[in-house]
């Protein structure tokens, strides 16, 4: 009987949590009433204001738990530098804060309260911290796998590229006096960023063999 080492099992469970969490968010886009939320213009957090709030919350919590589990394995293996561990913690905590403090419902309020402000800050911190964590960890995590190290870095840079689009819109709006979220398809950009970051994290967390390849069976 083939058995899976405990740490590899935890890593795979973490990746599974990421996949299920992402799948739940995708599900929200095709089931009513959240299928009416524009995936192009509305942010992912908009699902948290719907009747399916519990599905959104579950999805984000699963991603947070999966991230924590996988990153803890890397740490125990000595493959996660301290700065990357701190950034990974910021990502995980940021996700939990997003759940604890929902996005303001702009249909009923004109300005964000304390919880809404915290939601915004947590979102920015989380989305920036994760790709930075992957960039910092790539060299230590894959000392014998230049190909996988390169893939992780490319995905991390691509994630920051998505965020740069948002920053660019903010700068343009500040100069022109417009509303930055109307200058770009914000929902599409955020979803692209989230997907790219989850793939980057999965690449980082996936178990490897002694020679740096993806582990597919018992060594």
**Backbone angle region of 78, left / alpha / beta, with phi > 0 → left and psi within -120 to 50 → alpha:** left
The pLDDT confidence band at residue 127, using thresholds 50, 70 and 90, is very high
Q: How far is 154 from 131, CA to CA, in rounded Å?
A: 10
Could you read off the pLDDT of 49-93 as tens digits, one per residue?
A: 999 999 999 999 999 999 999 999 999 999 999 999 999 999 999
Q: How far is 182 from 149, CA to CA, in rounded Å?
A: 36
Distance of CA 175 to the CA centre of its chain: 30
Mean pLDDT of the chain: 91
For the chain, state the CA radius of gyration.
Answer: 18
pTM, rounded to two decimals: 0.91
Q: How far is 46 from 32, CA to CA, in rounded Å?
A: 14
| Both structure tokens of 203 | 């690449």
Q: Tell me the mean pLDDT in the region 174-199.
A: 95
Q: Does residue 217 register a pLDDT over 50?
A: no
Q: How far is 190 from 193, CA to CA, in rounded Å?
A: 5
Other C-beta atoms closer than 10 Å to the C-beta of 218 total 9
| Both structure tokens of 162 | 């998505």
Q: Residues of the chain with pLDDT > 90: what percent? A: 82
């Amino acid at each position: 009987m083939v058995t899976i080492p405990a740490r590899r099992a935890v890593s795979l469970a973490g990746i599974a949590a990421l996949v299920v969490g992402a799948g739940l968010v995708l599900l929200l886009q095709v089931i009513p009433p959240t299928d009416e939320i524009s995936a192009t213009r509305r942010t992912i957090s908009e699902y948290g204001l719907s009747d399916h709030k519990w599905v959104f919350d579950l999805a984000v919590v699963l991603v947070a738990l999966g991230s924590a589990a996988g990153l803890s394995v890397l740490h125990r293996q000595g493959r996660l530098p301290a700065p990357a561990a701190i950034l990974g913690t910021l990502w995980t905590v940021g996700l939990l804060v997003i759940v604890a403090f929902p996005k303001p419902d702009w249909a009923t309020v004109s300005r964000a309260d304390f919880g809404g402000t915290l939601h915004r800050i947590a979102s920015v911190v989380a989305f920036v911290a994760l790709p930075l964590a992957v960039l910092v960890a790539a060299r230590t995590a894959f000392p014998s796998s230049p190909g996988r190290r390169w893939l992780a870095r490319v995905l991390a840079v691509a994630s920051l590229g998505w965020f740069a689009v948002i920053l660019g819109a903010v700068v343009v709006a500040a100069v022109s006096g417009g509303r930055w979220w109307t200058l770009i398809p914000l929902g599409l950009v955020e979803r692209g960023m989230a997907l790219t970051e989850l793939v980057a994290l999965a690449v980082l967390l996936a178990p490897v063999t002694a020679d740096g390849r993806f582990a597919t069976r018992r060594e």
